[in-house]
Amino acid sequence: MRFHSLLLGIAALGSMASGAAIVAREEKKPAAAEPPSTKYFRNRNDLTGHYDVRFFKEVVEYDERRDTLTHLAKAWLQTTAKEGIETWIAHGTLLGWWWSGNILPWDWDLDVQMSANTLTMIGEKYNMTRHHYTSEDGTVQREYLLDVNPWIWQRVRGDGNNIIDARWVDVRNGLYIDITGIAETNPDTPGILNCKNYHRYKPEDIWPLRDTMFEGVPAKIPYNFDEILMKEYKAKALVVTEYEGHRWNTHTKTWDRAPEVPAGRQAESLLKTVREPEKYSTVESGGFFYNAFRLLHWW
């Protein structure tokens, strides 16, 4: 951490001498023949890459990250409800909701979706707006930036640089929610909605949205959330109870930190060596019925 601040300090000094220095640091200069990158949202290329480069100060610790993401989510849900912006939780964030109604504690960013029409609307009406937030108990004050990618009119993947359509950024440390739009883009497959990263949905998978709670705040989820989760993460993600340094606590219904559970590179290399059946050894003994119940009780 110290080291990072030091580096940044040096970079800042350097940039006083030449404003171009800092730009050069963010992204390697393309070779003369290549066109400049079209990428709108730039991330910091550190261990995690999960910070918006404009607001990055230093890598945040576990507790601060969780606190940041929790309030990011609450603020997003409250602001969009107040402004009448239709949005629903998606990807890993939806998986977190499925388990406990909360963020997954090992996540670095959150994901929400909206229709491409809503995206266009927020691009026109809310781009670069800043939103003040106070937690219910009044102890936490934050500011968030809603930034909309100018490439939202392009609904296909293109060069892959702009698959994230908008961001809700905590301006204190650069952590964010990724916002992506889904739209019908392929005339050969009418009635199929997709984001720019090839996730595909039928309108009836999404609408009518279901009302739920996330991080203690009213939220919306896709109608067929279970099918969506199964397709994206496979059934395994709904039953495995040890993951990324955490263990599912059946009693409290929370993911608790468990240092003995492998995480990061260690977990990756284990996954490569462990044979298929062993991967499932962490499935709860009460297994099938308990998990089938979990799947059904939201209906």
Ligand X SMILES: *[C@@H]1O[C@H](CO)[C@@H](O)[C@H](O)[C@H]1NC(C)=O
CB closer to ligand X out of 41 and 223: 41
CB closer to ligand X out of 128 and 296: 128
CB of 115 to ligand X, least distance (A): 16
CB closer to ligand X out of 185 and 212: 185
CB closer to ligand X out of 96 and 123: 123
CB of 132 to ligand X, least distance (A): 19
CB of 215 to ligand X, least distance (A): 27
CB closer to ligand X out of 103 and 148: 148
Q: How far apart are CA 298 and CA 225, in angstroms?
A: 10
Please work out the total of residues on this chain that contact ligand X, with binding judged by CB under 6 A: 6
Positions 26 through 85 that interact with ligand X (CB under 6 A):
none
CB closer to ligand X out of 127 and 291: 127
Contact 122, 149 (CB under 8 A): no
* CA angle, 64 then 114 then 71, to 5°: 20
CB of 119 to ligand X, least distance (A): 9
Per-residue contact string for residues 102-141; x = within reach of ligand X by CB under 6 A: ---------------------x---xx-------------
Q: Which residue in 75, 89, 104, 152 binds ligand X (CB under 6 A)?
A: 152
CB of 165 to ligand X, least distance (A): 9
Q: Does 148 engage in binding with ligand X (CB under 6 A)?
A: yes
CB of 154 to ligand X, least distance (A): 11
CB of 125 to ligand X, least distance (A): 10
Residue 197 CB-density burial (10 A; 0-12 exposed, 13-18 middle, 19+ buried)? exposed
Residues that bind ligand X (CB under 6 A): 123, 127-128, 148, 150, 152
